[in-house]
Structure 1
Amino acid sequence: MSAADAATDGPWHLRLYIAGRTARSEAALHNLRQICEEHLAGMYSIEVVDLLERPQLAQGEQIVAIPTLERRLPPPVRKIIGDLSNTERVLIGLDLLPRR
């Protein structure tokens, strides 16, 4: 299956782990929303998990840095660390673009 095919096989469930409403966390959420609207319009959901409010999830989900984006669906689970400002890197990490 090509990356383009994968994008049409929704739904996509994405979880963004943050620690408070910092500038970096807000940038990651903004960048993620832009990427999703452009590449997954109508086929995605974003869950934001604030680890300051739910710290037990950090260990259980093996979150070692924040912000971390986790693609829950479609399988397999994939994680991307950072503010998601490098769109090409995010698209490759989500399998929406082929690796070079």
Structure 2
Amino acid sequence: MKPSKNAPATVCEPIKFILFVAGQEPNSVIAARNLERLCQEHLPGCHTIEVIDVFQNMDIAFKNNIIITPTLIKVAPDPSVTIFGSLRDSQKLMHVLRP
């Protein structure tokens, strides 16, 4: 079935994520993969992901009080949310990340 020409365009408020990782450590790689999959499935075209490697950008990690990796911060829209770990449970993640 084709979408109606009169149907309103889907507009979303972009969600901005920052994912702090520790290089290619296994949990960091898994978290990045899980976040990308979650965004493609549930937020297509409505997200941005900035990945920061704490080994390469320790000053940014320090300024953001990052002491555990992987750490995901939903920066926008408010409220800000911080999640630690490999982001394996997509249902729980979507529950927490929904505005």
Under TM normalisation by the shorter chain, which class is it?
0.7 to 0.9
Unaligned 5+ segments in structure 1 are 1-7
1:58 aligns with 2:49: no
Residue aligning to 1:73 = 76
- Retained in 2: the 8 A contact 1:80–1:93? no
Secondary structure in 2 aligned to 1:76? Answer: coil
Tell me how far 1:77 sits from its aligned partner: 1.2
TM-score normalised over the length of structure 2 = 0.82
Larger Rg: 2
Residue identity over aligned pairs, in percent, reads 31
Alpha-carbon separation, structure 1, partners of 2:40 and 2:46: 9
TM-score normalised over the length of structure 1 = 0.81
Residue aligning to 1:44 = 47
* Deviation beyond 2 Å, 4+ runs, structure 1: none
> For each residue in 1:45-99, what CA deviation from the matched residue of structure 2 results, as whole angstroms up to 9, or x when unmatched?
1100000011112221121211001101111211110000011221122126xxx
Unaligned 5+ segments in structure 2 are 1-10
The structure 2 residue matched to 1:21, chosen from 19, 24, 44, is 24
The amino acid that maps onto 1:70 is I
Question: Alignment RMSD, CA only?
Answer: 1.4
- Retained in 2: the 8 A contact 1:27–1:83? yes
